[in-house]
Amino acid sequence: MPNVLVGLVQLNSVSDFDELWDYNDPVNTEKVFRELLPESRASGDPDYHTQLLTQIARTHSLRRQFNEAHHILDDAEALLSDETPVARVRYLLERGRTFNSAGEIEAARPLFEEAWDLARGIGEDYHAVDAAHMLGICETGDKALRWNEIAMEAAEASHDSRAKEWLGALYNNTGWTYHDAGEFQRALECFEKGLAWRVERNDPVTTRIAKWSVARALRSLERTSEALDMQRSLLAELESAGTKDGYVYEELAECLLILGKADDARPFFNLAYHELSKDAWLKENEADRLDRLQRFGEP
């Protein structure tokens, strides 16, 4: 996160510190946010200070440090009052996210519901869409689809440009809900919308993720050669950028295996295992998937 510490003393709004977020580097983001704490305490703005605490908590939940996140959220909760309406919404969101990431979905759901109602009541469209999108993640099947639809409708109707920025994630999440339900064609349609949305914003990282999702849906539709071509294109992009992606390796391996090219698939299974086995969530929740990658990657 280059140059984020430059001019911190000039920061005086929530939107300022939100712009310092790097979700791919929660460790450094925490350091940056903690640099702001003395100023936020002295600002005389309890809403600003409490919101900042909720985001420091989020840097811990992203690292699966749930006890630390809850402890900081306890501190934030103690500061909530009628003078901290936005902080209350953000507290609910982050407490809910912490529970959800720990697999405690029943504890998370009512917090997101309350955040949705409160955010709408105070005209905070961005946080309202966030709450609806999290409810889409908490729920399954038709309920998940309905919350995703509600979130998309709210984002599309909002005059807040930040609220509209949720649309890329919502197209993605809705696509995966359809995919999990076996509705692969509808999933593909959502992923293609998401890809178009990402391309318009010229963000190479999120565009690659959107391309990957389209290719994954194509594999599920048994359009394996098309899926393989897209994954090969992604591999070329990764190599050009000098980066790695275990999910791309995994899909290359699976496509090649389906097409009867087990020898060509083996090194990609091995690469996929090497990268994805570093993921603590996958180790905890998808051990069988990692075992498969390791097994098919062996000589």
C-beta atoms surrounding 266 within 10 Å: 17
CB 40 within 8 A of CB 48: yes
DSSP character string of 222-245:
T-HHHHHHHHHHHHHHHHHHT---
For residue 14, the model assigns a pLDDT of 59
For residue 13, the model assigns a pLDDT of 54
Q: How far apart are CA 110 and CA 49, in angstroms?
A: 25
For residue 8, the model assigns a pLDDT of 37
**Sign of the four-CA dihedral 127, 280, 68, 205:** negative
Place of tokens 């911190």: 8
pLDDT truncated to tens, each residue of the chain (299 aa)? 333 333 333 444 555 888 899 998 999 999 999 999 998 888 889 999 999 999 999 999 999 999 999 999 999 999 999 999 999 999 999 999 999 999 999 999 999 999 999 999 999 999 999 999 999 999 988 898 999 999 999 999 999 999 999 999 899 989 998 999 999 999 999 999 999 999 999 889 899 999 999 999 999 999 999 999 999 999 999 999 999 999 999 999 999 999 999 999 999 999 999 999 999 889 999 999 999 999 999 98
For residue 2, the model assigns a pLDDT of 36
Tokens encoding 208: 């690659």
C-beta atoms surrounding 26 within 10 Å: 19
For residue 217, the model assigns a pLDDT of 98
Let me know if 221 is exposed, middle or buried by CB neighbors in 10 A (0-12, 13-18, 19+): middle
For residue 140, the model assigns a pLDDT of 87
For residue 15, the model assigns a pLDDT of 55
For residue 175, the model assigns a pLDDT of 93
Nearest CA to 206 out of 10, 55, 24, 17 is that of 24
